[in-house]
């Protein structure tokens, strides 16, 4: 089981399932909603993600997607797309032990910042995993 939460500790969660789709997402929406050059995510089934404490705020970041974050410290926690209702994406670095779920690829690199050099040897996809670079 994995546990995590926001920076200030008001929101805590646990993940009971096996993570999949471990990625570093380079899309412009992830960058803008976090202020980071890319965001590490992993997916689990919604039934495998459970809030232990706190009440995240939701934000519709696009026509088909909702992100949650702590209303006090701003830590982004999850992403859910209407296109993939069987998944919930969790920010890897909100885990207590982010090293437990390393990224396995880079996605949405068509939006990657020019000054980011990818030299880690992970697979690179211009958009989704089915769209190899």
Beta-carbon neighbour count of residue 11 at 10 Å? 25
pLDDT of residue 85: 93
Its pTM stands at: 0.93
pLDDT of residue 128: 87
**For residue 43, how far is the Cα from the chain centroid?**
8
Q: How far apart are CA 106 and CA 104, in angstroms?
A: 7
Each domain of the chain, given as residue ranges in start order, spans 2-111
Could you tell me which CATH number the domain at 2-111 has?
2.170.150.70
For residues 10-22, average pLDDT: 97
Structure tokens belonging to residue 92 = 């890897």
Contacts of 46-50 spanning 24+ positions with Cβ under 8 A: 46/80, 46/85, 46/86, 46/87, 46/88, 47/17, 48/15, 48/16, 48/17, 49/13, 49/14, 49/15, 49/17, 49/78, 49/88, 49/90, 50/13, 50/14, 50/15, 50/16
For residues 2-9, average pLDDT: 98
Q: What percent of the chain has pLDDT over 90?
A: 95
pLDDT of residue 129: 80
Alpha helices for 21-65 (secondary structure H): 28-34
The mean pLDDT of the chain is 95
In tens, the pLDDT along 25-56 reads: 999 999 999 999 999 999 999 999 999 999 99
pLDDT of residue 131: 55
């Amino acid at each position: 089981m994995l546990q995590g939460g926001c920076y200030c500790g008001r929101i805590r969660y646990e993940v009971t399932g096996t993570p999949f789709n471990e990625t570093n997402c380079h899309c412009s929406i992830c960058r803008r909603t976090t202020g980071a050059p890319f965001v590490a995510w992993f997916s689990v089934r919604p039934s495998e993600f459970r809030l232990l404490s706190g009440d995240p705020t939701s934000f519709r970041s696009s026509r088909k997607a909702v992100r949650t974050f702590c209303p006090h410290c701003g830590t982004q926690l999850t992403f859910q797309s209407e296109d993939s209702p069987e998944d919930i994406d969790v920010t890897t670095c909100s885990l207590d032990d982010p090293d437990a779920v390393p990224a396995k690829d880079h996605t949405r690199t068509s939006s990657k910042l020019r000054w980011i050099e990818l030299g880690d040897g992970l697979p690179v996809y211009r958009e989704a995993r089915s769209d190899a670079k």
